[in-house]
Structure 1
Amino acid sequence: MQEEHGPRDVPPGPEQTEPTPTKPKHKAAMVSRYRPNDSKRSFCTCLTIFLLFVGITLLVLWLVYRPYKPRFAVVSAAIYDLNVTAPPLMSTTMQFTLLIRNPNKRVSIYYDKLSAYVSYKNQAITEQLTLPPLDLQKHSTVAVSPVIGGFPVPVSVEVVNGLVMDQTYGVVGLKLILQGRLRWKAGAIKTSHYEIYVKCDVLMGLKKGFVGQVPLLGAPGCNVDI
């Protein structure tokens, strides 16, 4: 009889286990590599928010305190001398009453330097007169009445002939020119100096030989460039 052979007992051996996966060694390096980028991103975000806040604040301040240009208007004129009988020199003495208005409710205007002269056919017929410094408080108006001229100035034949002809018709058109520098002040803050140029067209009734207050036939608001 053949002996039945059963399964052989396998002697116990060391337990076979699956190898435990190891973490990549460069992970720590990866973590340390991305942390600085997160810091930079946070810094950029904070900087952007800060700049946006500053921009909004400046915009609000500008809308509240933005300065408007001053306004000039000639309200009266007088002629005391107009001598064109000795070309190429002529002499004239004139006086204009000028209203200067500050339309700003929160900003003052300081005129540190301002001068005036009279022009005819784009040629000066008086010397420049330096006006005293002027301070216009918020939303205020002042009147100045400078007497301009008094000294002979050289002029062209076109100016002499034009003035003689205009006096014959009784209507003379002149320009009062002012130029200088100004500053705006809001609270304790003053701006830098700005150049100002003012041109006032004045149309007056004037006959030859007349002296004194002359009627204004037209004196629209002056043009102001800053």
Structure 2
Amino acid sequence: MAEKVHPGVDSPPHLPPPQSKHAAAPGSTYVIQLPKDQIYRRPPPENAERMKKLAKTNRRRSNRLCRCLGYTLAAAILLLILLGIAAAVFYFVYKPESPKYTVDSIAITGFNLSSSRPMSPEFDVSISANNPNDKIGIYYEKKSSVQVYYSDDRLSAGVLPVFYQPVNNVTVFKTALRGNNIVLSRADHSELLTAQTEKKVPLKLNLKAPIKIKVGGVKTWTINVKVKCDLTVDSLTAKSKIVSKHCDYSVKLW
């Protein structure tokens, strides 16, 4: 059975609900604090106008730069086309051919392989230069060089004569190459003795010739011609004969 509440007995008082610590009294002001990175400011109108003008200026500059680059690229392409046309016209009109070189003979003195003392070998080399062009002459300039090697040892060096070679011409010139106080390593000395006994002495001749081409009345800039010849001679004497030879050449236009 339910218990009855008798009158006169004090009932527990009704307590008001607990108030929040942050609750403010009526009529008070709220203060809200935000972090600085969450505070947004609205820029003044004049700043927006300034940004628009700046953007327009940047676009104009970008357009100018693009136009300038476009003009430069177009000019470069046009120049290449014109150069290509000029080169094609030059080739079909003059039909240029590279000069050809070969070693005709070589006389050797100053070798004494029976001793280990320093040597001063001398090479008298006869070289043929062939200009097969019908309308192009060749000027051989100063600062040329001709060198003879055995293995990696340079035996002698000299220069080419300065001369002009006309069209359709074969010029044979002799050049004297000299070496001074050449000392071979023990291994090279032994190999050279064996090669001479077998009458197969391998030599290398390197030639560098600065030339200028004459086309009509016009003379070009200096062009470097390089020739590398692998030679085999039967002896290291004044009566040596060339057993075999092979020459490669290259032309450097600039």
Superposition TM-score tier, normalisation by shorter sequence: 0.5 to 0.7
- What is the distance in 1 between the residues matched to 2:92 and 2:239? 44
Select between 82-91 and 179-188 the one with higher mean Cα deviation: 82-91
Distance of 1:134 and 1:215 partners within structure 2: 28
Does the C-alpha gap of structure 1 residues 189 and 125 become closer, same or farther in structure 2, counting only changes over 3 Å? same
Q: Secondary structure at the match of 1:153?
A: coil
Q: Which of these residues, 219, 224, 227, is aligned with residue 195 of structure 1?
A: 224
Partner of 2:226, secondary structure, is: strand
**Residue 173 (structure 2) aligned to one of 115, 128, 144:** 144
**Letter in structure 2 aligned against 1:64:** V
1:160 — aligned with what? Answer: 189
Pair 1:218-2:249 in alignment:
no
Structure 1: which 5+ runs fail to align?
1-46
The answer to whether the 8 A contact 1:90-1:125 is kept is: no
Say if 2:147 and 2:207, in contact at 8 Å, map to a contact too.
yes
Aligned to 1:116: 146
Please provide the CA RMSD for this pair: 2.6
Is residue 171–residue 204 contact of structure 1 (8 Å, CA) maintained in 2? yes
**Equivalences, count:** 173
- CA shift at 1:90, angstroms? 3.0
Change in Cα spacing, 1:225 to 1:156, as seen in structure 2 (3 Å) is: farther
Q: For residue 168 of structure 1, report the CA deviation from its aligned partner.
A: 1.9
Corresponding position of 1:182 = 211
Partners of 1:125 and 1:155 within 8 A in 2 = no
Q: Say if 2:108 is the partner of 1:79.
A: yes
* Residue pair 1:74, 1:96 contacting (<8 A) in 2 also: yes
Amino acid aligned to 1:200: C
Q: Distance in 2 between matches of 1:53 and 1:151?
A: 52
Give the drift of 1:144: 1.1
CA-CA distance at 1:161 after TM superposition: 2.2
Provide the C-alpha distance between the structure 2 equivalents of 1:119 and 1:189, rounded to a whole number of angstroms.
37
Structure ID, larger Rg: 2
Pick closer, same or farther for the CA change 1:91–1:85 going to 2, 3 Å.
farther
User: Deviations along 1:158-214, whole A, 9 cap, x unmatched?
Assistant: 3322211211222211112111311111011121112221112211111xxx73222
**Structure possessing the higher relative contact order (Cα contacts under 8 Å, 6 or more residues apart):** 1
Aligned mates of 2:241, 2:183 — CA distance in 1: 27
Answering whether residue 155 of structure 2 is matched by residue 125 of structure 1, we say yes
TM-score by length of 1: 0.67
Cα distance between partner residues in 2 of 1:55 and 1:75: 39
1:70 matches 2:70: no
1:85 shift after superposition: 4.9
CA contact (8 A) 1:88 1:156 kept: no
1: CA distance between counterparts of 2:86 and 2:158? Answer: 43
SS at match of 1:78: strand
Q: State how far apart, in whole Å, the 2-side matches of 1:177 and 1:77 are.
A: 14
Higher strand share: 1
Structure 1 segments (4+ residues) deviating >6 Å = 50-54
Q: Give the 3 Å change call, closer, same or farther, for CA 112–54 of structure 1 in structure 2.
A: closer
Once the 2 structures are TM-superposed, how far is the Cα of residue 216 of structure 1 from its aligned partner? 1.8
Is 1:98 aligned to residue 127 of structure 2? yes
2-side partners of 1:89 and 1:58: how far apart? 53
Summarize deviations over 1:28-62 as a string: whole Å, max 9, x none.
xxxxxxxxxxxxxxxxxxx9xx9878864552223
